[in-house]
Amino acid sequence: MKTILKPITLFFALFLITATSFAWNGRGHMIVASIAYRNLSDSLQIHYTDILKEHPFYQDWNKEFNELTGIEFGEFLFMKAATWPDDIRKSGNPNDHPEWHYMSYKIVYDGKIPKREVTDTVNVLTQLEHCLDLVRNDDEETNERAIALAWYIHLVGDMHQPLHTASLFNTLYPKGDLGGNSINVIVKAGNNATNLHSFWDGLMGTGKSYSAICDQSRNLTSTHTEPSLPMADSLSFTLWSYESYALAATVAHKNGEIDRLSGIKSKDTAPLIPNAEQYVKTAKATGELRVALGGYRLAKTLSD
């Protein structure tokens, strides 16, 4: 697949989420996919299910589905497609593209709002548009459209995880903190240390029961209905990246407070986050909102 780079031209003001959200491991991606599938029209559900039947892994997915009960076939395919780009990581599969999962806007705390300077040219932002273009191209090979659709479902989820869009740069991390992967913290007294990125990736939980994930998806959309989220109508990939960047700087990094803690470079010396209980509560609320938005927006862009 070729890459398409779109210039970043839109402006988005930094904002704070005041509601009080776990996302973007396999469970989080499946929830985004479940929400999206349920918000497609019946005809589009059939259309995209037919595309995914041409995916190279379809036979494996279909075999797994035949052993399940209590889940709709199309919704199941969307959920499997959502995790496929992570499932093939480091497998030698030619469709594995590690650089597609993230982008690195710079976070630099120097007493003023940092500039959104992106440090990579092939990233989640460029590939969202590329994959959607392929999905919409009726002249494209059917298996390529299926691969692109799986990637697109996955990347919409990635884009809505704040730490997939930004890296901290300072004297401790002159080459960046790898989206929080290099910052080690303790989020609850007595718990083992974790890196900041993994904590945010795991905000929706870790179990992979399809029925439980579907229930969680429905509960989430009951709490965060589409009419209550006018931002769901924003379909600009660039704006999505600005939103996530803002949340990375203000919520995930706590406006730089976490980055000033001693011992964050090693799990052996990882500090407890100040006001950890409130931090976790805010992170969970933020993650839930981002996952809901990701699901609604995924459906809207696939309906456009």
Which residue range(s) make up the domain with 272?
26-303
Q: What is the pLDDT of residue 11?
A: 30
Q: Is residue 6 part of a domain?
A: no
Residue 98 lies in a domain: yes
Q: Which residue has the higher pLDDT, 250 or 23?
A: 250
Sign, Cα dihedral of 288, 165, 51, 235: positive
Single out the residue of 75, 239, 106 nearest to residue 160, CA to CA: 239
List CB contacts of 294: < 8 A, sequence separation 6 or more: 32, 35, 36, 156, 157, 159, 160
12 occurs within a structural domain: no
> What's the mean pLDDT when you consider all of the chain?
91
For position 93, which CATH number holds? 1.10.575.10
23: pLDDT strictly greater than 60: no
Give the Cα separation of 282 and 58 in Å (integer). 38
9 occurs within a structural domain: no
Number of domains in the chain: 1
More confident residue, 253 or 113: 253
The first and second tokens of residue 295, run together, are: 């699901």
Q: Kind and range of the H or E element at 184?
A: strand 184-185
What does the pLDDT read at residue 7?
A: 31
Residues in the chain: 304
On the question of pLDDT at 2 being above 70, the answer is: no
Where does the pLDDT of residue 114 fall: very low under 50, low under 70, confident under 90, or very high at 90 and above?
Answer: low
Q: What is the dihedral of CA 55, 58, 60, 63, to 10 degrees?
A: 180
Q: How far apart are CA 5 and CA 23, in angstroms?
A: 27
Q: Is the pLDDT of residue 190 over 70?
A: yes
Whether 14 has a pLDDT exceeding 50, the answer reads no
pLDDT tens digits, one per residue of 66-79: 999 999 999 999 99
Residue 121 pLDDT class (50, 70, 90 cuts): confident
Q: Rounded distance, CA 159 to CA 161, Å?
A: 6
Residue 216 and residue 155: Cα distance in Å, rounded? 21
Residue 13 pLDDT exceeds 80 = no
Q: Which two tokens stand for residue 280?
A: 């976790």
User: How far is the first Cα of the chain from the last one, in angstroms, to the nearest whole number?
Assistant: 22
> Which tens digit of pLDDT belongs to each residue from 154-185?
999 999 999 999 999 999 999 999 999 999 99
The strand pair at 184-185 and 194-195 is best described as antiparallel
The answer, yes or no, to whether residue 21 has pLDDT greater than 90, is no
Residue 31: inside a domain, yes or no? Answer: yes
184 falls within a domain: yes
pTM for the whole thing?
0.91
Q: Looking at the domain assignment, is residue 10 inside a domain?
A: no
CA separation (Å) from 54 to 57, 81, 142? 8, 12, 6
Output the pLDDT for position 24.
60
Angle formed by the axes of helices 142-159 and 276-303, to 10°?
Answer: 150
Q: Which of 23, 34, 158, 32 is nearest to 104 (CA)?
A: 158
List all residues 6 or more positions away from 135 whose beta carbon is below 8 Å from its beta carbon. Answer: 51, 145, 148, 149, 152, 302
Per residue in 206-230, pLDDT (tens digit) is: 888 999 999 999 999 999 999 999 9
As a whole number, mean pLDDT of residues 285-290 equals 98
pLDDT of residue 8 exceeding 80? no
In this model, does residue 10 exceed pLDDT 50?
no
Would residue 37 count as lying in a domain? yes
- 107 pLDDT more than 80: yes
